[in-house]
Structure 1
Amino acid sequence: MQRDALLTQDELDFIQTMHHNPQLNARDVSSSLTVNGGAQIRDLLTRLAAHEHVTIQAQFDNQQMTFPLQLVEDEFHALHLRLGVPSIFEDGPMIRPWRLVLEEPVALENIKGQPGSLFVHEISFKGALVEVRGRSNPPKTFCLWFSPSGYERIAVRGTLERETTRGMFAYHLSQGDVDETERLRQFILQQHRLAHPEVHA
């Protein structure tokens, strides 16, 4: 090798090995989306995604997933369309967000991580079914942390909607932070994947 070479033979061999390793060169097909169609369709989708709320909807059995179509800019300032985390709904007399029924109720925590008297039995990206333990009255609103076992905790804000016939309380959830909303949707999606592996296979 010449004295002024930029790479040693070992470095060149390493690069060649990586280049020819099929596992390292495999693209993650689940994270990419190619839009086939004419330039007019692509331009229309790009304009709509930049100014409107555009979604792609998939239906299966008695459920549907709605994927937001997002316009993202890469490090080279090129714009790309990307699918966001879906909202999952279930059909019935009314279409409603798919609810995850927790095996064990999860106590909502304060900012210090201390559990309170509110225990979540069911949760969706829009609402939660909550049990109030102790002698507490249900709060009209709350801003607490949902911390299921094995997951990073998620900030949730709830507004009391009604008391159910089972003595639980239905809360409408709204997140002020877009990242927290995305994290809750991601958690719901992961749990849906576990509950319905046939859909995600």
Structure 2
Amino acid sequence: MLAGELRVLLRGVAWWWWLGLAGITAVALTMTPVSGVTRMVLPVAWIWPVLIWSRLGTQRYEHGVDALLGAYPAPRRRMFAEWISGLALTALAGVGPLIRMTGQGDWPGVAAWWGGVLFIPSLALAVGTLSRSHRLFQAGYLPLWYAVANGVPMGDFMGAVRENGVPAGPGPAVFAALAGLLLTAAFAVESLRGRPRR
């Protein structure tokens, strides 16, 4: 099921997108100093898949197959597999910075990275499920990302904004908890929509 959801999520992704991702990863693995990797490369890595993330929770509605998938016997498992595919894409996009932070023993940065990996696909799936459109996630994620890229620590979900070498944002536990709330909301909405009407 996960392999199928990954194929659906990545369907139609152009070769140049993969080349760009490979370039971002190569820069992350070779750039010095490492502080530049977390401050510059990680934000680039986590804006690159924005159009793909925005597909989470929306494709069945935008392609008119929601009624067909509504008859699927395990909708929660399908939705969980969809979220895991988004999580895998997020981790793949940010693997270069993760390797560098791990190599430098930047454990607060690694923890923040994991918070971001959980938060991004959860936000995308929840917003996509609620709105049934890919545009709302794009419209919401871009300002949040832009704030982080410009050094605003308040919403730093990736650990890019640093003070004395330590992530200055709210912390990975906050974004992991937000991810849990967003996933709960997405599953609740999907369950309510799947109930037969009387």
Structure with greater contact order relative to length (CA < 8 Å, sep ≥ 6): 2
Which structure has greater strand proportion? Answer: 1
| Structure (1 or 2) with the greater helix fraction | 2
For the criterion TM > 0.5, the same-fold answer is: no
Q: Give the TM-score normalised by structure 1.
A: 0.23
